[in-house]
Chain A
């Protein structure tokens, strides 16, 4: 069976090479049959990669412990769902999944465009298959997933049972986090491939943007979901109470998110005004390369990280692949600069256009800063000869102001007029939100909050919320007047007319809620105590008491937990049972924190262990204000993104360089 799997991978690799050659020759010699043949090869590649994946999953599920990968990542006692998720639990398997997702995307693209975009499709196929060839090469020759265990390279050994998936990964969000993130990572190849294709063939207009808009939004949504699942996992599993630690791996997933967010904003400029064409190409290419770079960072061991994969020989290959593909892209863009000329100039510093520009500037600055910080050990070693690393406080210092500036633009941008905004326009749109901001800050300061960034952040959250609500309100009122609808149908009608605009506002609202959650971190409280059973200790407004220590065992792990009763003002509030587990196979201890989640604050308790000499439990207790807002914000973001995907009821035909997007503002808001 392992032979069939390995053979499938090898065959798929050969087919990608064929597909690349057939596409290019077909496009060059104008031979449609070669192009179609190349596309059929894509379908075959998908079939073969799916077969290989299926075989690996089957081996994991049935426990074929002759395979090194299965022995290392699965065991008999593990629940079925984790046996399945062991597919991406290690280097080899996760690269196979990368391939599977990429092949699936390529399949969908090829099937969708059988009769469309015939001129650029050969290049789209080529771009995707070059990437596919690279990743197949990795699992065909460097880190094969179908390696068998053997003694002295001869006899195959069946070890009987495996070591099991890393217990830290045996948690529900970890089942969906990697695939989600990969769907987002890999997905950006499609917009990139279309961008490249239309660049090579000098397509008139911006059809690649229209074609790939949905892809861009969907993959962005997957990236956002993946990142937040990771954050949620860190918060509920890792036991340090944080959701983000600026670890290189986290940064790696965040970088392409920043550029793709910038891209989603700046394509609007190209669609509506024909501006920023080069920039958009650079952004979509940067996103794609950062996705590859992220994969490289996680797997090569160039920067030390808590949850990077083991050091492996694939690093140099990634560097080579990135260098070559980046060079080709840059050369292509440079050779087509005339084709990418902007159709309109920037007219004013205070305009919708410039707000997009600054949004992009800030997102990219953040991206660059994070990249710099992540690679600082490598850079400083190269320049100063000393390996220096910067940690979370540095990243926060740089990114908190960036985040707040971005939040500010979120509020300002959508209300600025295209081309230029007059002082009158500014006053009309921003007076009330700005007053709301000042009032929020004043009230919070009155309650004794003195943290500067926290005050500013809460103030800006009010500001942005106000602008978003007033946008909905003004538009709704206009529709009510015109069509006589009642309030709720009018809101739905308004959103339906321009789904991307109003869906976008809802996404912004989700981001605002997340910022409220992030800001809560300024008020965290914690305590670490070693207590006897029955002892009480205070934390914030809570009084905590350990009432019992229990232990037990099942076939997968032994466990021990502490029963902690929390009271507020003498009244019982909650009973939490943080647990420590030791997994049988891997002998890996895992702490399972217990969290009482509320909108205002979470009570979070970790059972750190028993003292070596005292044999008393050590309890770490935390209060995390507003954290729930982050997760709630995600659902709002998801809802908004889904609305963006609904086709708008009214197809807006924009004449280029005309002032657009102010229709609702001409109608006075009547109350």
Chain B
């Protein structure tokens, strides 16, 4: 067997193994489907079993903390969805009223979304709005107590 063939074989084995690991890794535990709230409302029971990733805004005043459990309402174009979270990862600091959030998890039988992971981004809070309407917000944060 000449050297080129040997190299070819080793490379094929390495690439093949990695390809297999990568492809077989895309499964229930690691992959999630981007859906909108309105799409979820239309989904059948079977499709709802999948892990989903849903984006939206956090409804103002809806965040409730009860020990480990955090619940809130996610709004997307006037459609609402209840979300609860009891994971061990702390919620990001950007998670608060009015922020954009991306929740990752599954639908519970009662229709609540059970999030395993939440990421949040401040809705263009730091982007300037040229052209006027420069309002200053003075809302005192409710958690400052």
Q: Which residues of A contact B (CB under 8 A)?
A: 68-69, 71-73, 89-91, 147-153, 157, 159, 163, 166-168, 238-241, 304, 306, 310, 345-349, 354, 357-358, 361-362, 365, 369, 372-373, 376-377, 386-391, 393-394, 397-398, 401-402, 526, 528-530, 558, 560, 580, 582, 586-591, 606, 608-616, 618, 620
Contacts and interface: CB of A to CB of B under 8 A. Distances in A.
A358 B14 contact: yes
Interface in B93-145: 93-94, 96, 102, 104, 117, 119-122, 124-132, 134, 136-137, 139, 141, 143-145
The 8 A-B pairs with the shortest beta carbon distances in the complex, nearest first, are: A68-B128, A394-B30, A72-B128, A530-B67, A387-B34, A151-B132, A397-B25, A612-B65
B40 interface: no
A212 B85 CA distance: 52
A587 B31 contact: no
A357 B7 CA distance: 10
A609 B3 contact: no
A150 B132 contact: yes
A666 to B, nearest CB: 26
Contacts of A354: 7
Given A157-B134, A529-B67, A609-B65, 17 more contacts: A89-B126, A91-B127, A151-B131, A166-B126, A238-B93, A239-B92, A358-B10, A387-B33, A389-B31, A390-B26, A391-B30, A397-B30, A398-B25, A580-B143, A588-B96, A608-B90, A610-B145
A613 B34 CA distance: 33
Given A90-B127, A398-B21, A590 B132 contact: no
B139 A587 contact: yes
Q: At the interface, is chain A mostly helix, strand, loop or mixed?
A: mixed
Interface residues of B, number: 60
Contacts of B6: 349
B18 A90 contact: no
Interface string B43-77: 00000000001010000000111111000000000
A27 to B, nearest CB: 39
B127 A588 contact: no
Given A163-B126, A390-B31, A238 B145 contact: no
A389 B89 contact: no
Contact of B14 (A163, A362, A586, A616): A362
B65 A618 contact: yes
B122 to A, nearest CB: 7
Nearest to A310: B127
Given A151-B132, A590-B93, A398 B22 contact: yes
Contacts of B32: 388-389, 391
B125 to A, nearest CB: 6
A169 to B, nearest CB: 10
A358 B141 CA distance: 55
16 contacts: A73-B126, A149-B132, A159-B136, A163-B125, A306-B119, A345-B3, A346-B4, A354-B7, A390-B25, A391-B31, A391-B32, A394-B26, A394-B30, A398-B25, A529-B68, A582-B143
